[in-house]
Amino acid sequence: MGDRFELIDVRVDGDDGPILSVPRARIAADGLTVVVGPSGAGKSTLLRLLNRLDDPDGGSVLFEGRDVRDYDVLDLRRRVQLVGQVPVTFPGTVADNLGVADPVPLLARVGLPGAIAGREADRLSVGEAQRMALARSLALSPEVLALDEPTSALDPGARAGIEQLVRSLADDGLTVVMVTHDERHAVELADHVLEVTPCAT
């Protein structure tokens, strides 16, 4: 399979010089791509370019061969789902958060019991909330799932569960891009590794 994303001469500027600089990079359409690099290298910024929460100050990001800026941005964001480091719960129940007629199959897909649907979302544990956030994204039937350190806020037990889940979503044919600071992920989980190097200052 080909590339889902291609980054060409991408540069993002911060207040004091560039915070991300990628001469060339590809994100494969198949499997799990793990993005590694030292903290401050701009890994999270790179993810934000994929669904256009941010735009590069130089260069271009191609999605399916076309510049991301050529897509309708709201449509692009539904197709490229970004899930943050700390799970965000909206007011209301888990079912309210998911916003679908029947939340049970969706919950099952992320390893949550169907009974949790009626629970207030802000009463979930961090691990449960992270799974719910994944389910909320999957409800939109995205083609790409971009995850920003999805396990960093979790305890080791919950962490292993999420890693397994991410792996199985990639095996089901979803393009998964995951930023991590955990070297182990690159070795044990990844199909592809994308290394981001810090900008020269």
Return residues touching another protein (CB under 8 A).
Answer: 14-15, 51-55, 69, 73-75, 77-78, 81-84, 86, 88, 90, 133, 136-137, 140
> With respect to another protein, which residue has the nearer C-beta, 129 or 190?
129
Q: At what angle do helices 126-138 and 156-171 cross, to 10 degrees?
A: 20
3-state secondary structure labels for all residues of 52-79: CCCCCCEEEEEECCEEHHHCCHHHHHHH
Count of CB atoms situated within 10 Å of the CB of 198: 15
Cβ 100 to another protein shortest distance, Å: 12
> With respect to another protein, which residue has the nearer C-beta, 86 or 126?
86
> With respect to another protein, which residue has the nearer C-beta, 77 or 119?
77
Of 64, 50, 3, 67, the C-alpha closest to 30 is 3
CB 36 within 8 A of CB 191: no
CB 73 within 8 A of CB 137: no
Count of CB atoms situated within 10 Å of the CB of 72: 8
> With respect to another protein, which residue has the nearer C-beta, 83 or 169?
83
Cβ 28 to another protein shortest distance, Å: 22
> With respect to another protein, which residue has the nearer C-beta, 27 or 98?
98
Structure tokens at 201: 């200052």
> With respect to another protein, which residue has the nearer C-beta, 147 or 190?
147
Cβ 15 to another protein shortest distance, Å: 6
Structure tokens at 142: 């995205």
Cβ 183 to another protein shortest distance, Å: 26
* Cα–Cα distance for residue pair 177/170, rounded to 1 Å: 9
Cβ 2 to another protein shortest distance, Å: 25
Cβ 57 to another protein shortest distance, Å: 10
CB 142 within 8 A of CB 83: no
